[in-house]
Amino acid sequence: MEVHNFAEIEAEFLQRVHTMVWCSVATVDSRQRPRSRILHPIWEGATGWIGTGRRTHKAQHLAANPYVSLAYIADITKPVYVDCKAEWVDEIAERQRIWEWFRTTPEPLGYDPAPIFGSIEEFGLLKLTPWRIELITFPASSLNAAPVWRSNA
């Protein structure tokens, strides 16, 4: 079922992703092979944020292909699939804002980035801009019944 306005799925989307917290994130390597890893995004409406290192395989993959696919499956009856464009955020003020948001948000959604990254200077920040979000609920009469939102961009 096509959803034309993100606001129609926003509450359910945020409830699911903020409850499940961890997701599988797939990138594409230099040989065009998919590679998945578990990451911890935090969502601000339809914008996702991931704190991560900038000197990783993931960073190399994103340099060649900025698209990622996320799968939240902690609750197998309510998976969430999010396809996004990922981009590095270099502005220190925005990195500081998201660092503080992670730090001050209660666990399990929030966490203290300092033990992982040391300082804001080492905190790589990825901004996720979805182009497709799908919310599935099982059992379903049909997978076509699942709400699917697509960005106009």
- pLDDT for 40 equals 96
Q: Is 17 left (phi over 0), alpha (psi -120 to 50) or beta?
A: alpha
Overall pTM > 0.85: yes
CATH of the domain at 140: 2.30.110.10
How far is the C-alpha of 50 from the C-alpha of 124, rounded, in Å? 8
Q: Which domain holds residue 50?
A: 2-150
pLDDT digits (tens, 9 = 90+) for 65-117: 999 999 999 989 999 999 999 999 999 999 999 999 999 999 999 999 999 99
Q: Is 21 left (phi over 0), alpha (psi -120 to 50) or beta?
A: left
- Give the pairing of strands 2-3 and 148-150: parallel
Total tally of structural domains belonging to the chain: 1
Give, as one character, the DSSP assignment of residue 110. Answer: -
- Residue 12's pLDDT band, with cuts at 50, 70 and 90, is very high
**SS3 at position 112:** coil
